[in-house]
Amino acid sequence: MSGYNFSKAKVLIIGDVMLDRYHYGTVSRISPEAPVPVVSVKKMDQTLGGAGNVANNIAHLQSSAVIIGSCGKDTDGNTVKQMLDDINTRYNFVETKNPTTKKMRVIGDKQQIVRLDFEEITHMSGKYAEKAIKYIKAEIDSCNAVVISDYGKGFCTLEVCEEKIRLAKKRNIPVIVDPKGGDWRKYAGATTITQNVKELAEAVGRPVENLDEEVVLAAREIIGRTRVEYLVVTRSEKGISIVRQNDHMHIPTEAREVFDVSGAGDTVVASLALCLGIGYEISETVKVANKAAGIVVSKMGTAPIMLSELNNAFNNVSKIVEIQQLKAHLAKVKMMRRKVVFTNGCFDILHKGHISYMRKAASLGDLLVLGLNSDASVKRLKGDSRPINNEMDRAEVLSALEFVDFIIIFDEDTPYELIKAVQPDVLVKGGDYTIEEVVGADIAKKTVLIDFVDGYSTSKIIEAMKEE
């Protein structure tokens, strides 16, 4: 499969770095102390937030970034640094007396119950601003795109932003801004500002309905004030609009089940920066950003886009995944109490029996994971004349079935290790087995046998073809 390659891009990010912490649990009663739900916490997770999430997206798109921001001399600051080390992202932090910004969310039974913000907003000035600008000057020559990730926490001041934009423009480096607040004068001269309709309305100082003509009119007003080349406006179910002073383009969204919009803006910014950094035209760049945003909103929490997900989406085989990608997605799916079904097979020549079997399997839960024997595995099981169709051809055909959610190719003779990784709620196998014979029955919560449709098998089809 062909795909995007961002390995030659390097992005300089300045902005507000945060720690996002999630407490997941279940709700079974109301507190006797106050009319609020009691969340029994089952799991804690933490991710990079704010400008850190932009860096996280860039790292998972297999590119590199250096981040300049501020943090406190505290445990949360050390945690942020360690998380950046873990994704091989360099950083230069101005350490202040303020605590590292942290957002803590409590989620009970898929629903966010409360968010707690730990922060003290102090605008970067004096020796702190001088240090930030020093870091920017030291890093900018090695980068081919610049991001200003402003979350209104004090780092992206007029002084810092103006100097960064001046240095970038002098070197002909694109500057992508994720803005905050209503005064965008500090972003003057940037290449583009990306915002949603609500932020656009705040910037122009009047209501803006999510209609093509209103968005274009408001965006051009902002272009006139800030002298940016164009605006990129994210418009929820209506997609993304690119607006210049004399032309515009509307790119429709792609329908997806939305679990959580947290961090989607960071994914858009990261995608824009990488594409512009390696010289893509803006129309192609925004198509990539739109696709990436559609993927991350189907995840729970602040989660980055992975390069394999992006490339698979553009190749229409997004259901075909690697093991780490599958495990990451299933962890979030199970936290939402969705029932995972697993089955496996060679599926060499797809026929009615296969379709009936998989449809019944899918009906036993919320999500069907299909383990597909690799070509080498099929040869060991079926002989040197098999498979008739190679593994990627088989996987692509299966990915066209709406009731199949994920396909993962495995090379072993049995899917036992794969089943251990998936930990399915329901394991499905053909009716020619007994429960005791099913590989992985000791792992799954439940094992179900489904009878095959009489008269249909790949071997019979192959034999009939030979007779002809």
Model confidence pTM above 0.75? no
The pLDDT value given to residue 295: 77
List the end-to-end C-alpha distance of the chain, in Å, as a whole number: 35
Q: Which residue, among 165, 169, 195, 174, has the nearest Cα to 275 in the 3D structure?
A: 174
For the question of residue 266 being annotated catalytic, the response is yes
Same domain, 101 and 242: yes
The pLDDT value given to residue 257: 47
Catalytic residue among 45, 76, 266, 405: 266
Residue 183 lies in a domain: yes
Buried b or exposed e, range 420-452, using 16+ CB within 10 angstroms:
ebbbbbbbbbeeeeeeeebbbbebbeebbebee
The pLDDT value given to residue 344: 95
Same domain, 278 and 344: no
Same domain, 203 and 348: no
Same domain, 281 and 349: no
| pLDDT per position as a tens digit, 375-398 | 999 999 888 888 888 888 899 889
Same domain, 261 and 134: yes
Same domain, 376 and 299: no
pLDDT in tens, the chain (468 residues): 347 889 899 999 999 999 999 999 999 999 999 999 999 999 898 999 999 999 999 998 989 999 999 999 999 999 999 999 999 999 999 999 899 999 999 999 878 999 999 999 989 899 999 999 999 999 999 999 999 999 999 999 999 999 999 999 999 999 999 999 888 999 999 999 999 999 999 999 999 999 999 999 999 999 999 999 999 998 877 888 999 999 999 888 654 544 445 567 888 999 999 999 999 988 888 888 888 877 776 665 566 787 877 877 776 546 888 888 788 778 867 776 778 999 999 998 888 888 989 999 999 988 899 999 999 999 998 888 888 888 888 998 898 887 888 999 999 999 999 999 999 999 999 877 888 899 999 999 999 999 876 655 655 555 655 555
What domain range is 432 assigned to?
324-467
Residue 4 lies in a domain: no
Same domain, 312 and 363: no
Q: Which two tokens stand for residue 42?
A: 């089952």
| Contacting residues for 324 by C-beta, under 8 A, at least 6 apart | none
Same domain, 292 and 415: no
The pLDDT value given to residue 260: 46
Residue 3 lies in a domain: no
Domain boundary pick from 316, 334, 354: 316
Count how many domains the chain has. Answer: 2
